[in-house]
Chains A and B, each alone.
Chain A
């Protein structure tokens, strides 16, 4: 079902008969839409191919040494040859990022709900959430490394702290922006606190929360990398950031590029995932997820 479906999308006063009349498919916009979707895939792909070609050409034409700029081919080779090391590092980074994101979602939403239920709690907690957010995470990381049992836990805590705030502040904002008339309506119908939260405040906060989720997803990955740099983890349990640094020390630039590639792919994946979740949840009703039709 798309918002374009004329069966329930008729945005004008229509008698049942004319609704059925409109039910025939409208080929022109559909075809346009399909080609539009195709172009959105083709153009970036062509662009990517051109850039890689340019890169390959530059490296061979100017004879650039591979420890300065490896050819795309060497990067691909390194990706395959070093896959055992890289994949386990990728797994560590993915695990930390998603665990941090999950904790941030649970903690951020939970705390936002508590804060909007009680003014006291808000006054007591919010300033500290802000302080935690505005202090650069790289500056707190060394302390956290000292207190945390393992480096991985330290990295997880750092990523959590960074991802937590956008979820908290967006959800709080969303919970507070409920339409006052709807609140009056709920009061008039004798809704309990819990009912008001469940049927009114949470759905109203959803778009805000999802915007926070998109930001938090990106930040969790960035923080996981930065924290690993700062914590200086080593050994079997290290993530992509450590492999990246290690490759630099050893002047294994193809592997550095391969690690970098994996990191950006992870970032893209997280972005795509959070955007898809957001679109799925909002597509029927929120302006942000609906194509303009006028």
Chain B
């Protein structure tokens, strides 16, 4: 990965404590689908600025639903979302700079890597020339500046995912929402992208909400893990992972890591035994 100019000097040595000013607050958010499924029930969560939060839970516990509600894709059935620190647009809607990384790369197959990353800026009216610099910067953050003219079909699964991440980064979001972004990747690629993500997060001081099935991945990445249970989807425990950053491969084998994994696993099992599960 090439060096990136330190334009965003948001480098945070010590993380901002979660309690001070939450970026977003979920107030008793519930979501019932038209077929009667209660995907989320009374979810309350403060997402502090600069936190790396993982939503961990069994399949169908409403992780994606929660993430989509935060992203503004679908309204909650009851409860509300507060953005205490964000500006509001003309319609009175909060307009935090949010980016979403889907489980699949979700690239436009007819567009090159460059054009895919350009998309969010293009939709804001930025022409190709003016977008050149931010797009190339985002591509080099994920190590793909050499592949700017490649079409998605010419890229491997991991590379496609990195293009998708570059597209999320190009708007310089405050809040990055990731829905099992690495679930389909092999372990080696996943570890590498985990490290890349952590480094970028530290450098730019984003807030991240990261959905995952994997206890190990969530412990490695997160400053905080929110464990959810299903039917109805709800939060059952909220664990702080207070191991210091930067974390690297040595952390993966450390006793502290193992201890956190054991603890988190236990919380997850308790959550699954509490509700029905598959």
Are the chains A and B members of one assembly? Answer: yes
B106 touches A182 (CB 8 A): yes
* Assembled-state Cα–Cα distance A18/B262 (Å): 41
Q: Which residues of A contact B119 (CB under 8 A)?
A: 185, 189, 199
Can you list, as one digit per residue, whether each of B145-160 has a CB less than 8 Å from chain A (1) or not (0)? 0110111111110110
Chain A nearest CB, measured from B196 CB (Å):
13
B102 touches A284 (CB 8 A): no
A184 touches B73 (CB 8 A): yes
A188 with B100: in contact, given A195-B123, A199-B122 (CB under 8 Å)?
Answer: yes
* Assembled-state Cα–Cα distance A181/B151 (Å): 19
Chain A nearest CB, measured from B97 CB (Å):
11
A181 touches B110 (CB 8 A): no
A8 touches B154 (CB 8 A): yes
B106 touches A285 (CB 8 A): no
Report if B197 contacts A (CB, 8 A).
no
Q: Which residues of B contact A200 (CB under 8 A)?
A: 108
Chain B nearest CB, measured from A68 CB (Å):
54
- Chain A residue nearest to B107 in the complex (CB): A182
Report if A286 contacts B (CB, 8 A).
yes
Chain A nearest CB, measured from B89 CB (Å):
9
Report if B217 contacts A (CB, 8 A).
no
A286 with B98: in contact, given A13-B158, A13-B159, A199-B122 (CB under 8 Å)?
Answer: no
* Assembled-state Cα–Cα distance A284/B156 (Å): 16
A residues 151-205 in Cβ contact with B at 8 Å: 179, 181-182, 184-191, 195, 199-200, 203-204
* Assembled-state Cα–Cα distance A204/B153 (Å): 15
* Assembled-state Cα–Cα distance A206/B104 (Å): 22
A13 with B156: in contact, given A185-B102, A188-B98, A199-B119 (CB under 8 Å)?
Answer: yes
- Chain A residue nearest to B171 in the complex (CB): A189
Report if A16 contacts B (CB, 8 A).
yes
Other-chain contact of B123, A9, A182, A189, A206 (Cβ < 8 Å): A189
Chain B nearest CB, measured from A27 CB (Å):
22
Report if B120 contacts A (CB, 8 A).
yes
B73 touches A188 (CB 8 A): yes
Report if B109 contacts A (CB, 8 A).
yes
Report if A10 contacts B (CB, 8 A).
yes
Report if B72 contacts A (CB, 8 A).
yes
A12 with B156: in contact, given A186-B123, A187-B73, A188-B100 (CB under 8 Å)?
Answer: yes
* Assembled-state Cα–Cα distance A203/B108 (Å): 9
* Assembled-state Cα–Cα distance A232/B150 (Å): 55
Report if A290 contacts B (CB, 8 A).
yes
A182 touches B108 (CB 8 A): yes
Chain A nearest CB, measured from B62 CB (Å):
17
B residues 38-87 in Cβ contact with A at 8 Å: 71-73
- Chain B residue nearest to A182 in the complex (CB): B106
Report if A43 contacts B (CB, 8 A).
no
Q: Which residues of A contact B104 (CB under 8 A)?
A: 181
Q: Which residues of A contact B102 (CB under 8 A)?
A: 181, 184-185
B109 touches A285 (CB 8 A): yes
Question: What are 28 A-to-B residue pairs whose CB atoms are below 8 Å?
Answer: A8-B150, A9-B150, A10-B154, A13-B158, A13-B159, A179-B106, A181-B104, A181-B106, A184-B100, A184-B102, A185-B102, A185-B106, A185-B119, A188-B72, A188-B100, A189-B123, A190-B124, A195-B123, A199-B108, A199-B123, A200-B108, A203-B110, A284-B151, A285-B109, A285-B110, A285-B111, A285-B152, A287-B153
Q: A-side interface residues toward B, CB under 8 Å?
A: 3, 8-13, 16, 19, 179, 181-182, 184-191, 195, 199-200, 203-204, 206, 284-287, 290
Known interface pairs A8-B149, A184-B102, A189-B124; 8 further A-B residue pairs with C-beta atoms within 8 A, sorted by A's residue number: A11-B154, A13-B156, A185-B102, A186-B123, A199-B122, A203-B108, A285-B109, A285-B151
